[in-house]
Amino acid sequence: FAVLQAKEYLAIQKSMTESNIKDSELKVEFAQIDLQKYKEGDWPQLKKNTGTTIKIAEIELERANDRCTWTRQLHSKGYASRSELEADNLTVEKSKIGVDKAKEELRLLEAFDHPKKIRQLEAKIS
């Protein structure tokens, strides 16, 4: 009876070990896929989106500057009020902040978030 129990226990252990090995192999395979997806898909898309945000913010700043210049000229001729000029100046400042914010977001992504994510995904492989 003891021999029979030992054989059954051994068979169960072998089955569990094989299952654990297959599970581990799948985890490594999925981790490799996740890393590849991040490197080739998620990261380039995130970087592109942030670059687009910067470009839009820069265009908005340019437009705000143009409008402010125009309002300044109108104000000097008496065709625009002081409050309109101040509102346009405020829009320029907000646009500058928007550009700075977007550029800082990209800097943080490149300097910290990207390397951290790569390291996290690589750690899942080993």
Tell me which residue of 5, 37, 10, 24 sits closest to 117, measured CA to CA. Answer: 37
pLDDT string in tens for the chain (126-residue length) = 888 899 999 999 999 999 999 999 999 999 999 999 999 999 999 999 999 999 999 999 999 999 999 999 999 999 999 999 999 999 999 999 999 999 999 999 999 999 999 999 999 988
Q: Return contacts of 68-77, CB within 8 angstroms, 24+ apart.
A: 68/92
Token reading at 117: 């994510």
